[in-house]
Structure 1
Amino acid sequence: MRSPPSVPDYDSEMTMKTTDHSQTPITDLHLGGLAPRDAISPNFRFYELTRSDLAERRGIDNGFETEAQLQAAVHLARQVLQPVRDQFGSYSPNSVFRSQALERALKLRPASWISTSQHTTGCACDIEVPGVTTLDLARWVVKNLSDFDQVICECYDPSKGPNSGWVHVSLKPPGVGANRRVELSYIRDVESGRMIYVEGLRAAVA
């Protein structure tokens, strides 16, 4: 009797096809040279740098457009995402690179609008870590990362739970200028009811 056809082990196939680029210099990483599940740091995969639920739902191309964007995002993963992972354990970033099309969809802007967000250059990420309050995570990043451009505690309201909001961290790649080490919070102003940026790390006004 003929044996039934074997079912492919897709996890094994993907594992076999992956390459470890965690030690590859960022200048040696190029568009088209990385598979989605290739490692770009000890605990992060290439696809995590461009993953977006909104882009998937809307059919928006959120792939890197330039090698500068790719290399900046990998540098960010190694210098920001990985140290946070080493300290707190497994998590996946909410957002790293965002194309202009994704930025427009996210912020409800017209087709002519150009975002200046550091996400569009691959230099920023939004992160949350389960079990770590957003404000504590922001403070840890400021205290323990070797460098950063901006750390913003965004929309953190303790009355909505310890993981409300997120932490925005940006880091310029080598050769692009000095990082500013700016600390900000994005909170709701009591008087106007509008969201505003204020200096320092703090909870939102409830």
Structure 2
Amino acid sequence: MAALVIGLTGGIGSGKTTVSDQLAQYGIDIIDADIVAREIVAKGSDALNKIEAHFGHSILNKDKSLNRSALRSLIFQHEDEKQWLNSLLHPLIRQQLLDKLAAAQSEYVVLSAPLLFENGLDKYTDRTLLIDIEQDAQISRSVKRDNSNETQIRAIINSQMPRTEKCLLADDIISNTSLTFSQLNEKVQEIHLKYLELAKN
């Protein structure tokens, strides 16, 4: 297991994935909660079978994979359904994340999760890194990138912990509202070197 676990988080459109990709290029193991969550509900999985039994066939695509947009719109409209889904998936995701963290071999390991603080995953980390972005920039980037409408993006943002709270909880913050790609990479390199030093100690 790696000597140091870094929790990486940031809201939609913050640049969190860009940061984790850069760290991966430095040879750091990245455990991505979003990827694990997708694996848990892969076609034919027990979790997907339970989701289908609960929500009905309309929650699946023609190829029997999960229709994510249909599920997303459904749970944003019904809090009780969101709670049911979370109670099914969160324990499965959590165990998979812990298994992957235990198997990590790099000098330090990154646990990347958009809901790191909200889901209490920060308790499995030694230090947390927040990629912060102002809300207007967050919305415009997300609308362009995902072809989503602004209302849906705002609903996602409003369902998460406010920026101010995340900033208070995070050990390290990269403010990415106005950074160029190369400037962001410089910041990532700086923090990577810092984490290498911490891992040695």
Q: What TM bracket, shorter-length normalisation? A: under 0.3
Q: TM-score, normalised by structure 1?
A: 0.25
Q: Which has the higher contact order (CA 8 A, sep 6+)?
A: 2
Larger Rg belongs to: 1
Q: TM-score, normalised by structure 2?
A: 0.25
